Structure 1
Amino acid sequence: MVRSYTGSDLGADALYFLPLGGTGEIGMNLNLYGHKGAWLMVDLGITFADERLPGVDVLMPDPAFIEERREDLAGLVLTHAHEDHIGAVPYIWPKLRCPVYATGFTAALLRRKLAEFGLLDEVPLTEVPLSGKFSVGPFDIELITLTHSIPEPNAVVIRTDAGSVLHTGDWKLDPDPLVGDDFDEARLKALADEDVLAMIGDSTNAMVAGEAGSEGAVRDRLRDVIGGLKQRVAVACFASNVARLETIIKVAEESGRRVCLLGRSMHRIVECARESGYLKGHQPFLSEDEIDYLPRNEVLLLCTGSQGEPRAALWRIARGDHPAVALDKGDAVVFSSRVIPGNETKIFELQNALVESGVEIIDDRNHDIHVSGHPGRDELIQMYQWVRPRIAVPVHGERRHLAAHAQIAKECQIPQQIVGQNGAMIQLAPGEARIIDQVPSGRLAYEGRRLLPVNSSVIKGRQKMVFNGAAAVTLVLDERGQLDGDPEISTAGLFEPGEEDEILTEVEAAISHAVQRLGKRERRDDSAVREAAQQALRRTVNRLLGKKPVTMVHVIRFE
């Protein structure tokens, strides 16, 4: 039985940690801290659906646990502006209606998202300075600047009467981040003097030896690559990596090229970056209409679509249906990004389409032109040596990443390591930390204009139709319950052209026979008629095609 964990049930001397998203998976981060009858949320993100959920683009954590306790939710603190940390705010905030806190760049991106949902004037968004300190209910908050693949990533120090926690967010130790402040080594080291109770930390690259690498080194490599290309160049990268955008813009200018931004998210990120004081001092960007007025060796296209997204700018160019931009034989596309697991097929299809057009592909398989934004093993070790918490709680990773992170913490002589999962209620204090409960957790899908559980009947039904096809039968019965004519059958996703007539003739006969076999009383019962027709259709199609289609039966009677 799940305890209530609300009001006085959160003991004054206890501190709880509860992940509802992002633990046991990468993406959809939602973390809760409970103390003195209040809850603090850290991050509220999304992930993107794949072909297993037809008709669904966006997934997010199910906030039901905290939605039921929203009167006790003191606020939401956002660590940085990546979609897996802020993307669910416009969808879920109306269920929570709590204050939101973020630094300038994150706030700039979030405001644009809120405006798209008509929430800009509703959400109480407080912009916090870098290294800022503030209070949210019984939680005293301090932000510590780190480095990542987006500006202004923050670790969050959460101080309570029960102890202090370092929630790292996403981070790495980049000695040359190019854009934004360096990581605050002095503040991280100073935490060791505070006897930090727990570190809740990024596990994404816990299985990767060494360090993540520096944006400064990537700039040197891209300078060599782009400087050696002779025709039109397109570069695909994550739009949120402002340091990478700055590198590409600078390298283009050094190579005598003008830059054109392609893709909505690319324009949005650049606007937010400039609004926040980044990406200053460069030449004006080309518009799409100006590209063809310049020689091909004087243009660089900075594109969305590095993960093979079908509606992104690069795929439209590869398909030849972009209204203003084309790539020809001898041009080059540089993928300055990593392949996110699960996107391999889409990316390779995109690259194959480009190669078929005679375009050269350059990526991290043949050039070292990307670095991760997450800490490798050596950086995790360094963080533990600086902070020296009593408890390590790995998050932001699949189970194998969490286990590897816990092993690193153990080797660093952190006294306790707790590997949980979404829904694991962890009591950090008082006493020895432990998992004390498992609360309901899950995923919501944004389907059309509504949020539905991923196991809802709507989504399950659509999955069945995608994999098994669908059939609708109309039966007309007279006053005696006898069929008046043959069954009318419509299908989707079952037949190749030319094979339908023969199979449907057999299906119609099976349905007619099943209905005629019913007793007189059953033929007057619509539910009995529907059941007989449905079973006959499914059995016959399964025998002939090996499929069990989703079936609908309509019964029409006349007296």
Structure 2
Amino acid sequence: MTHMDGGIAPLDGLHLLPLGGSEEIGMNLYLYGLDGKWLIVDLGITFGDESTPGIDVLMPDPSFIVERRKDLVGLVLTHAHEDHFGAIQYLWPRLKCPIYATPFTAALLRLKLAETDFAKKVKIIEVPLSGRQSIGPFDVEFVTVTHSVPEPNALVLRTPHGLVVHSGDWKLDPEPLVGEQTDERTLRRLGDEGVLALVCDSTNALEPGRSGSEGEVRRKLTEAIGGMRGRIAVTCFSTNVARIQTVAEAAHANGRQCALIGRSLWRVHEAAKQTGYLDLPEPFLTEAEAAHVPPDQIVMVCTGSQGEPRSALARIARDDHNHIVLEKGDTVIFSAREIPGNEKAIGRVQSNLARLEVEIITPDEAMVHVSGHPAREELTEFYQWLRPRISVPVHGTPKHLQAHARLADACQVPEIVIPHDGAIIRLEAGKAGIVDEIEVRRLALDGSKLIRLDNGVVKSRHRMNNEGVAVATLVLDRSGELLADPQISLIGLEDDGDEEDKKIALMDRIEDAVDNLSKAARKDDEAVREAARLAVRRTIRMAQGKKPMIDIQLVRID
């Protein structure tokens, strides 16, 4: 049964409720319920696309836990990626709970929150690497893993009902370059201790073999840059400090200077310096400084690997950047994988670069990227170490979750629960499963305001995009007589050469509709608007088969 208002019965025992991050990649928000108390793990965003016109950022609606805020004991962050902590700057005022994070994540969060008016109110509790923290009834241990950001953590939740491992994002990398390798020893110890449930990353559950190493990327990228002429731009995730360090090292090895182009890169640079994760051969140049370096002596790290329209690379590709230009003979290296859903946006940026006659290198052409998520061999090792009673695949589309479930079954996990957002999952040996569910919604950042994604604003934009807009202005006297021909504006409905004919037809239909009203109705503004609206709708539908947004403006003159 789906509860529209989150009005579920009180829960005893240990439960997991994903509000984001299941059956999708991004927007992670997981709630763990323990005998009436709740702990949030991660609070992330995803980015808008063509299906959300005018919307840049999406996030889960936290209403369920906001209604239970008195029972919320805290928010724990696994790592500093936008899809895991990017919603805090928008949603924390609704939650007002303490936040627990390791030093790098805490440093980057403080820098992000500095742009808000509530930064000083947020209680951020730093937990040391491999630290352990009591949070309400939860005993939480942080276990170091490897990912494409400093200080990723798996979380161990020790409860009276059993031990849960929440993997966060992770991989097995023998040469991560920045930070430590995944703590295999501790994970094996947890397996010996006995793991009730593993809630685990499914991003690469369809990929055979292993995910590859950052060390190999550094060697290949250094070699590739050595054979290039002209300016070189490398785009990657701004939080991938190992990759940023790699580009700096590769540039230096080839006698080039290195610059950071993009605001979020400088923010990560500051957090990495504060926590000791960058050891540069020489300081990065600013974008203004980079503009004056000869083309064959510069490498630029740019934001925009996912085609974000406001990113540095997108603006450069549109020839719309204040300082940086790219031209024939220059090269752009995409040192990041495409997140599902971003293909069109990335394609647009690459098309604009191609128009500039810039050479483009992607991971399909060269070894310039490795994933930060575990492929199937790594997942299998993880299961062999932890040997959980229950597997809950998360962080993936339904296809990824199903593949992960099959792998867990092959690893002889006794119980497997494939979740969806809103599913309330009992974590109990022999009785694991979905016991209830709530309706989940999405919030959207519309300019500076948070709105529900299912409200009329977004629906109206879809209709405007797909069906067009017709605006008619009518000027009448007090008795309802038209004093002038209706004025018509058509947006998204025009065809070259026939716009005037369409407008004349609409004017005639509107005049007929108003004339056919009774004298009393013509004095009623709403009756006139409705008659004109129906006339416009029927005329356009018959002529074009469209159902545009229609706006009737009415002016009365004495």
Query: Does the pair score TM above 0.5?
Result: yes
Q: Which amino acid aligns with 1:144?
A: V
Match of 2:546 in 1: 547
Distance 1:394 1:292 in 2: 47
Residue pairs, 1:263-282, within 5 angstroms: 263-282=262-281
Instruction: Give 1:558 shift.
Output: 5.2
Instruction: Give 1:5 shift.
Output: 8.3
User: Conserved in 1, the CA contact under 8 Å of 2:248 and 2:280?
Assistant: no
User: Conserved in 2, the CA contact under 8 Å of 1:109 and 1:272?
Assistant: yes
1:388 aligns with 2:413: no
Q: Which amino acid aligns with 2:141?
A: E
Q: Which amino acid aligns with 1:274?
A: K
Task: Decide whether aligned partners of structure 1 residues 322 and 480 sit closer, same or farther in structure 2, where only a CA change above 3 A counts.
Answer: closer
Distance 2:170 2:313 in 1: 29
Distance 1:216 1:541 in 2: 61
Match of 2:419 in 1: 420
Instruction: Give 1:2 shift.
Output: 5.9
Match of 2:20 in 1: 21
Match of 1:10 in 2: 11
Q: Which amino acid aligns with 2:326?
A: L
Match of 1:40 in 2: 39
Residue pairs, 1:56-205, within 5 angstroms: 56-205=55-204
Distance 2:206 2:385 in 1: 21
Residue pairs, 1:254-269, within 5 angstroms: 254-269=253-268
Pick which of 143-152 and 466-475 moved more. 466-475
Q: Helix, strand or coil for the counterpart of 1:475?
A: strand
Residue pairs, 1:386-535, within 5 angstroms: 386-429=385-428, 431-496=430-495, 499-535=498-534
1:99-125 deviation digits (Å, cap 9, x = unpaired): 111111111111122111222101111
* CA RMSD across the alignment: 2.0
User: Conserved in 1, the CA contact under 8 Å of 2:415 and 2:430?
Assistant: no
Residue-pair matches, total: 557
Instruction: Give 1:83 shift.
Output: 0.3
Distance 1:418 1:37 in 2: 22
Task: Decide whether aligned partners of structure 1 residues 38 and 233 sit closer, same or farther in structure 2, where only a CA change above 3 A counts.
Answer: same
Structure 1 residue runs of 4+, over 4 Å off?
1-8
**Taking structure 1 as the reference length, what is the TM-score of the superposition?**
0.95
Q: Helix, strand or coil for the counterpart of 2:188?
A: helix
User: Conserved in 2, the CA contact under 8 Å of 1:7 and 1:37?
Assistant: no
User: Conserved in 2, the CA contact under 8 Å of 1:487 and 1:508?
Assistant: yes
Distance 1:38 1:56 in 2: 34
User: Conserved in 1, the CA contact under 8 Å of 2:389 and 2:429?
Assistant: no
Q: Helix, strand or coil for the counterpart of 2:78?
A: coil
Q: Which amino acid aligns with 1:374?
A: H
Distance 1:315 1:439 in 2: 39
Q: Percent identity?
A: 53
Distance 1:48 1:411 in 2: 35
Distance 1:490 1:349 in 2: 31
Q: Which amino acid aligns with 2:45?
A: I
Instruction: Give 1:292 shift.
Output: 5.5
Distance 2:327 2:58 in 1: 37
Structure 1 alignment gaps of length 5 or more? none
Q: Helix, strand or coil for the counterpart of 2:56?
A: strand
Instruction: Give 1:231 shift.
Output: 2.9
Instruction: Give 1:71 shift.
Output: 1.1
User: Conserved in 2, the CA contact under 8 Å of 1:423 and 1:440?
Assistant: yes
Pick which of 344-353 and 445-454 moved more. 344-353
Task: Decide whether aligned partners of structure 1 residues 25 and 482 sit closer, same or farther in structure 2, where only a CA change above 3 A counts.
Answer: same
1:280-307 deviation digits (Å, cap 9, x = unpaired): 2421222334336544322111111222
User: Conserved in 2, the CA contact under 8 Å of 1:237 and 1:303?
Assistant: yes
Instruction: Give 1:172 shift.
Output: 0.4
Distance 2:60 2:125 in 1: 23
Q: Which amino acid aligns with 2:277?
A: Y
**Taking structure 2 as the reference length, what is the TM-score of the superposition?**
0.95
Pick which of 285-294 and 143-152 moved more. 285-294
Pick which of 452-461 and 484-493 moved more. 484-493
Distance 1:90 1:478 in 2: 53
Match of 2:237 in 1: 238
1:415-462 deviation digits (Å, cap 9, x = unpaired): 000011000001113751121111121211111222111110111112
1:163-195 deviation digits (Å, cap 9, x = unpaired): 110000000011110001111111000011222
Q: Helix, strand or coil for the counterpart of 1:9?
A: coil
Instruction: Give 1:237 shift.
Output: 1.4
1:292-344 deviation digits (Å, cap 9, x = unpaired): 65443221111112222232222333333323222332222222111222332
Instruction: Give 1:538 shift.
Output: 1.1
Task: Decide whether aligned partners of structure 1 residues 512 and 334 sit closer, same or farther in structure 2, where only a CA change above 3 A counts.
Answer: same
Distance 1:7 1:340 in 2: 34
